[in-house]
Amino acid sequence: MNPEARDLEFRKGDVERPHFEAVTTLSDSQAIRSVDFHPNGKLYAVGSNSKTFRICQYPQLNKLRNGQQTTAYPPSVLCKRTKHHRGSIYCTCWSRDGELIATGSNDKTIKYMRFNNETNQLVGHEMELNMHDGTVRDMCFLDDSSTKSRLLASGGAGDCKIYITDCGTGTPFQAFSGHNGHILSLYSWNNSMFVSGSQDQTIRFWDLRVNVSVNTLDHVSKEGGLENSAVTAVCVDPTGRLLVSGHADSSCVLYDIRGNRPIQRFYPHTAEIRCVRFSPSAYYMLTCSYDNSIKLTDLQGDLANELSSVVVAEHKDKAITIRWHPTDFSFISTSADKTATLWSLPPS
């Protein structure tokens, strides 16, 4: 049974809410900005402002029993690299086959390393990319399993370009121009398409086979679409049909990609939204915000109707990043409170 098929039975106005419990909490000396699950779900990578990079083991959730665990415990750290970058680690990303792990930093560099999925060890020498002239804010892999090529899209501050790097050769071979503000979020959902969100208040769709953006969403392009607010987060559902964007004004916009139309704008938070993610089957959506909270939104039913969003986790300071587990109904959140916490529903 798909874990998402469990009926959470939450509706607007209900007192009850899904009771996610903190399972593990990784603590650092500074804010933790980035996290990503390995595609097999057995590991996750964490990068922090302290320049420290870690790979942690995902716990066995079947050992969690409702009411028996009162506090989260530290995760098992399989790999730890201090001073991995010369600056804070802003983003972390696994390739889709799990054989590469990349990090981006405000030291303006990207580093990526090979990872052995059998031994769970980093292997060989790290590669460093220096084409950015500002903070690297986000990255996403575009993998072609048929050719075994691994391409990395990256963007951030500075010249506002999105660079495409062939990780096989370590060579940036393409640069996309179009944004005129810092690139804050990138997301890919197939081998050739990805989307970007920017401080310039626009969302752009890109195709590796075309040298310009294939579609642009902004506050004047569509009635009821984007407004004058920086696009801080973007995500596309697994079918490639639905886009959600998070904004500095605390709003989210759902957008029908194939119909090229906005569905609705809603406000699940009271402060800037920093990350948005669909669950693996897109029944639900997570959002995290500078209001310290993580909210779950039910996407089952007519998306044009009022959506139900409930707080499912909270930090003691700004929530920065969230990632769903690839198969379990669990997620990790990171925060300015210097923690990365894994949350899960207890077994029913």
Specify the pLDDT at position 224: 45
pLDDT in tens, 248-289: 999 999 999 999 999 999 999 999 999 999 999 999 999 999
Phi, psi dihedral angles at 121 (to 5 degrees): -130, 145
Is 110 or 147 the better-scoring residue by pLDDT? 110
Q: pLDDT, tens digit, for every residue of 168-187?
A: 999 999 999 999 999 999 99
How many domains does the structure of the chain reveal?
A: 1
Whether residue 5 is predicted with pLDDT greater than 50 in this model: the reply is: no
> pLDDT at residue 13 above 60?
no
Burial of 173 (0-12, 13-18, 19+ CB in 10 A): exposed
**Domain-embedded: residue 9:** no
- In a domain, residue 293? The reply is yes
pLDDT at 221 (0 to 100)? 46
318 inside domain = yes
Mean model confidence pLDDT for the chain: 90
Q: Does residue 16 belong to any structural domain of this protein?
A: no
Dist. CA 35–CA 107, nearest whole Å: 18
Q: How confident is the model at residue 11 (pLDDT cuts 50, 70, 90)?
A: very low
pLDDT at 199 over 80: yes
Q: What is the pLDDT of residue 69?
A: 58
Digit-coded pLDDT (tens) for 278-320: 999 999 999 999 999 999 999 999 999 999 999 999 999 999 9
Radius of gyration of the chain (CA): 19
Burial of 221 (0-12, 13-18, 19+ CB in 10 A): middle
In a domain, 11, yes or no: no
Write down the pLDDT at residue 190: 87
pLDDT class for 219, splitting at 50, 70, 90?
A: low
99 has pLDDT over 80: yes
Q: Collect all residues with Cβ–Cβ distance below 8 Å to 125 and sequence separation of at least 6.
A: none
In this structure, the chain runs to a length of 348
The residue that leads in pLDDT, 136 or 347, is 136
Q: Is residue 6 part of a domain?
A: no
Q: How many Å apart are CA 156 and CA 108, to the nearest integer?
A: 9
How far apart (Å, rounded) are the C-alpha atoms in residues 210 and 227? Answer: 27
Taking the alpha carbons at both ends of the chain, their separation in whole angstroms is 13
> Which residue range forms the structural domain that includes residue 76?
21-344
Q: Compare 210 and 136 and report the one with higher pLDDT.
A: 136
- Which range (2-16, 34-48, 148-162) has the least confidence? 2-16
Dihedral sign of CA atoms 323, 314, 339, 56 in order: negative
How far is the C-alpha of 204 from the C-alpha of 308, rounded, in Å? 28
List pLDDT tens digits, range 45-79: 999 999 999 999 999 887 665 545 567 899 999 99
pLDDT over 70 at 2, yes or no: no
Is residue 10 included in any domain, yes or no? no
CATH of the domain at 204: 2.130.10.10
Domain-embedded: residue 27: yes
